[in-house]
């Protein structure tokens, strides 16, 4: 089967997918409908079709609302750029159309979850459910894994996080890990497999600690145990980094 028309399609839809993800990140964590019309967050002016063209409209409008001149939130642009980066990576590193679209969908879900947790401390069920389904599809497409291994890894990863959640609450008497993190862990386990899931959690912990230390150093102190960290954000970042690494065929401890 010819691959290039699909590669082209994936790269062309990637920025549009980015603006769709940006819309989900703005609405799902706050329980808003995904069907209503897009408006400026500042003045409420409805956006015109020309304002919805990903990346280009931001350039044309110089990053400001056409009606009131308020700045377009920077994360919306970063989500479109991240979605395009996913499209480019996946288009040139996969060998079948199914691999291409399932992996792109999986990484796009991670982008939306990354920003939902970072901005709102929420991991919407719709996104963690989509991640789990796409993760299971990745397992099924991988000749070395299969859907059953994916399902078992998802269950194991979810159970491990649930145990951590209960353990933390019992020891500390407060919430350390949300249920959203448990569902996210299941989707990450399904997509990465049992060998790489622990690598992702370790990398996420390192990213979280570095970010907390960096923040604390900027404010001139040490990280405190009560500092609230968007764990899901670091898990998504770690998982995406591992996939980029895997796809680019760089040597990673362990074997694929
Ligand atoms: Zn406006």
- Calculate how far, in angstroms, residue 181's C-alpha sits from the geometric centre of ligand 1: 34
The residues that bridge with 64 in the sheet, in sequence order, are 71
Cβ atoms of 87 and 112 closer than 8 Å: no
The Cα 241–Cα 179 span in angstroms is 23
- Calculate how far, in angstroms, residue 61's C-alpha sits from the geometric centre of ligand 1: 12
Report pLDDT for 251: 43
For 97, the token pair is: 């159309």
- Calculate how far, in angstroms, residue 17's C-alpha sits from the geometric centre of ligand 1: 23
Average pLDDT in the 137-157 region?
97
Cβ atoms of 187 and 154 closer than 8 Å: yes
Q: How many Å from the N-terminal Cα to the C-terminal Cα in the chain? A: 25
Report pLDDT for 226: 63
For 221, the token pair is: 């102190």
pTM: 0.92
Residue 32 Cα distances to 35, 47, 123, 205, angstroms: 9, 17, 14, 31
Dihedral sign, CA of 102, 105, 107, 109?
A: negative
- Calculate how far, in angstroms, residue 120's C-alpha sits from the geometric centre of ligand 1: 22
Report pLDDT for 225: 65
- Calculate how far, in angstroms, residue 64's C-alpha sits from the geometric centre of ligand 1: 8
Which pLDDT band holds residue 252 (cuts at 50, 70, 90)?
very low
Report pLDDT for 176: 82
Place of tokens 């979810």: 158
Q: What is the 8-class DSSP label of residue 36?
A: S
């Amino acid at each position: 089967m010819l691959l290039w028309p699909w590669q082209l399609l994936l790269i062309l839809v990637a920025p549009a997918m980015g603006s769709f993800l940006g819309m989900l990140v703005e609405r799902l964590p706050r329980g808003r409908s995904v069907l209503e019309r897009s408006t400026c967050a500042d003045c409420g002016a409805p956006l015109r079709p020309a304002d919805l063209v990903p990346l280009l409209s931001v350039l044309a409008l110089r990053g400001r609302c056409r009606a009131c001149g308020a700045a377009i939130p920077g994360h919306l642009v970063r989500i479109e750029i991240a979605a395009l980066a996913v499209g480019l990576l996946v288009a040139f590193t996969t060998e079948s159309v199914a691999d291409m679209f399932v992996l792109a969908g999986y990484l796009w879900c991670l982008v939306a979850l990354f920003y939902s947790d970072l901005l709102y401390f929420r991991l919407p069920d719709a996104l963690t459910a989509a991640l789990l389904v796409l993760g299971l599809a990745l397992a099924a497409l991988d000749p070395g894994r299969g859907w059953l291994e994916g399902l078992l890894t998802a269950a194991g990863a979810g159970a491990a996080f649930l145990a951590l959640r209960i353990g933390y609450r019992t020891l500390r008497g407060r919430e350390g890990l949300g249920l959203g993190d448990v569902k996210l862990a299941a989707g990450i386990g399904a997509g990465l497999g049992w060998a790489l899931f622990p690598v992702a959690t370790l990398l996420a912990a390192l990213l979280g600690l570095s970010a907390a230390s960096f923040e604390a150093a900027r404010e001139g102190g040490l990280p405190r145990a009560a500092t609230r960290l968007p764990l899901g954000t670091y898990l998504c970042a770690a998982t995406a980094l591992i996939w980029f690494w895997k796809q680019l065929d760089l040597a990673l401890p362990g074997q694929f």
